[in-house]
Structure formats: structure tokens, C-alpha cells
Structure 1
Amino acid sequence: MKAEKRTSILDQIPSAEEMPEQALPTLVGAKREGWSRRRVLGIATGAAVATGLGVLDLLPWSKPRGATAAAYTVWETCHGFADAGSVCVPSSALYSGNCSGSWHRNDGASGTCYNLRYTHNPSSCDGNNAWKWYGGGTTSTRRMCSDGWYEYHDCGGGNVSRFSICRTAI
């Protein structure tokens, strides 16, 4: 009697390295001609979003508001706002970080636990925002002094409100 070859269930699992004898080609990776449905829908969606944003930009409330530009004016002389030894007084004013160009800042910022604000004072010097200082008799320094306020508040109870001066060279 001839011995039968016993096959295991593991012998029925196809090999990952050898192609089966009767394998048919698949269409899964085949390159198609023309545009796919996904590409056409993507282009249509992009065009619809762009058109919608364009229409929203035409609405009146989407236009940026014009900045309220202050009419900054400068005194030609200090008129008692400086003495011979100091540039822009009082010396107790805040002098750092408060300039925007050559004028006092007029903006602010806030975060999770703080809020700060710079405001200019457009009429502090007899209707003017700034004055010029020509150095007195002891120096040739020339400065323009534009004044305002600095305010800072935080969650830890820190509160600062100080007169501040933007001091720039002229």
C-alpha cells in the first residue's frame, strides 16, 4: 500500500513570495486615463470656496475700518517742560518701549493673564501732543518728546498706570 501524503492546513495558505499558478491581473493599481471623480470634486470645491470668500469680501462689514488718525502737532520749544539738565521731564515718566516711530504708541496687547495699553495724549501740551527740546546750554542733544500713558494689569494683582514719554532724536 502506498502512503498518503498528509497535508496540513498551513499548506493551504498562499505564499507571499510565489505567484499562484492561475493568478489574474488586478485593476487596483491600474492608471486611468483622464480626470478622476475625486480630482473633479476637489477642483469644484476649491472654486466654490474661493467664490464664497470673494463674495464675502464685497460685503460692507468685511471692509477694514479706516484708522482714526490723530492730528499730531508739535511745539517748537519746551515752554517750561524741560530744565537744563534733563531731556523731556518729568524724570519719573516711563521712557522705554513706548514709541511707535517718533510718536507715543497708541495700542495694546492682552494675554491669558495680562492686559497692557499705551495711549497717546493728543493735547497735553497746550493742544499739542509733543514738544521739541534743543538741549539747553549744556548739551547739543535735540529731542522730540511725545507723551501719553502706559497701563498694565495682570491676574496677580499687578497694576501699573504711569505717565510716559516717547523721546526721539531730531
Structure 2
Amino acid sequence: MKAEKRTSILDQIPSAEEMPEQAMPTLMSAKREGWSRRRVLGIATGAAVATGLGVLDLLPWSKPRSAAAATYTAWESCHGYANASSVCVPSSALYSGNCSGSWHRNDGATGTCYALRYTHYASTCDGNNAWKWYGGSTTATRRKCSDGWYEYHDCGGGNVSRFSICRTAI
């Protein structure tokens, strides 16, 4: 009896160093140099940021001021906007930080986590932005009251939106 040669399962694994006898050429080619996933995402992120900044430029407060403060007008008397003891009413209005010279501010600012905006009312007082207050029966104070609006928003949920008055001495 002739002894049969036994082959191990390990003998059936092809060698990494020797080419098989009946090897067929492959259709695979070398890796092409192209855009990586990181580069594509970087370009997409840059385009998104540029688009976002472009949209922000369309907001009203990003535009240049349309009129200089010198073109605003003021009533010569209060026309019911004050009483004998109050200067520039209502007392609930914001009176701090909203003046640009003697007129209400018309600008804004943004930061990492906040946005604020001052808007003047060009013609709310019968076609005028402001009124002059010459004092009541209890004071000789003279003021110009230029009205507008103040808005503030931040990432922490802080929101303020209220009527404001620039009160200056005349």
C-alpha cells in the first residue's frame, strides 16, 4: 500500500511572497490623489460660514446710517409728553447709554454670545424725532428728549426690548 500524502489546511493558504501559478492580473489601480473627506468638509464649512455672514449683512443694523443726526428735528414744546414734575416721560423708558451726541443712538453691536441694537424713531412725535422740555412748575430744568428703542439678546436667554429716550440738557 502506498502512503498518501496528507495535506494540512495551512498548506492551502496562499503565500504572501510567491505568486500563485495561475494568477490573473487585477483591475485595481494605485490610489489616486484627490480630495480627502477632511478637505471636502473644510470647504463646506467655509461656504456655510461665508453664507451666514452674508445673510447677517442683510440685517437692518448692518447697513450704514441712512441719515445724520443733524437732519433730525425736535418740537419746541413737549406737546403732552411731560407733566409738571417729570422730565421726558414715561419714567419706565430706558435712559442710560442710548445717546449719540444729543440724539438717540441708531447702531448696534454683536459679540460671541450677544447682540444689541439701538433704533431711533425718526418721526414718531408728529414728524419729529425729539421734543424739547422747558421745565414744569417745580423745576427750571431744560431737556431735549429723543426717543427710540433698545433691544438686547444673549445666549443665556437674556432678552430686553424696551422703549428708550436720550435725555440731554439744552
State the secondary structure of the residue aligned to 1:124: coil
C-alpha distance in 1 between matches for 2:92 and 2:139:
21
C-alpha distance in 1 between matches for 2:131 and 2:65:
24
2:141 paired residue number: 141
Displacement of 1:90 in angstroms is 0.2
* AA aligned opposite 2:111: G
Q: Is residue 2:167 matched to residue 1:162?
A: no
* AA aligned opposite 1:149: W
2:116 paired residue number: 116
Counterparts of 1:15-164 in structure 2 under 5 Å? 67-69=65-67, 71-164=71-164
List runs of 5+ in structure 2 lacking aligned partners: 1-62
C-alpha distance in 1 between matches for 2:160 and 2:64:
31
Displacement of 1:66 in angstroms is 7.2
C-alpha distance in 2 between matches for 1:163 and 1:86:
17
Displacement of 1:135 in angstroms is 0.5
Superposition TM-score, scaled by structure 1 size: 0.60
* AA aligned opposite 2:136: G
Structure 1 residues 91, 126: CA separation in 2 closer, same or farther (over 3 Å shift)? same
Q: What's the C-alpha RMSD, in Å, of the aligned pairs?
A: 1.4
C-alpha distance in 1 between matches for 2:125 and 2:106:
17
Displacement of 1:67 in angstroms is 4.5
Q: Which runs of 4+ in 1 moved over 6 A?
A: none
CA contact (8 A) 2:114 2:152 kept: yes
C-alpha distance in 2 between matches for 1:125 and 1:82:
13
Superposition TM-score, scaled by structure 2 size: 0.60
* Number of aligned residues: 106
- What is the percentage of aligned positions where both structures have the same residue? 83
C-alpha distance in 1 between matches for 2:134 and 2:148:
21
C-alpha distance in 2 between matches for 1:66 and 1:119:
13
Displacement of 1:68 in angstroms is 1.8
Structure 1 residues 135, 91: CA separation in 2 closer, same or farther (over 3 Å shift)? same
Displacement of 1:124 in angstroms is 1.0
Displacement of 1:138 in angstroms is 1.1
C-alpha distance in 2 between matches for 1:76 and 1:113:
42
1:46 paired residue number: none
Displacement of 1:99 in angstroms is 0.2
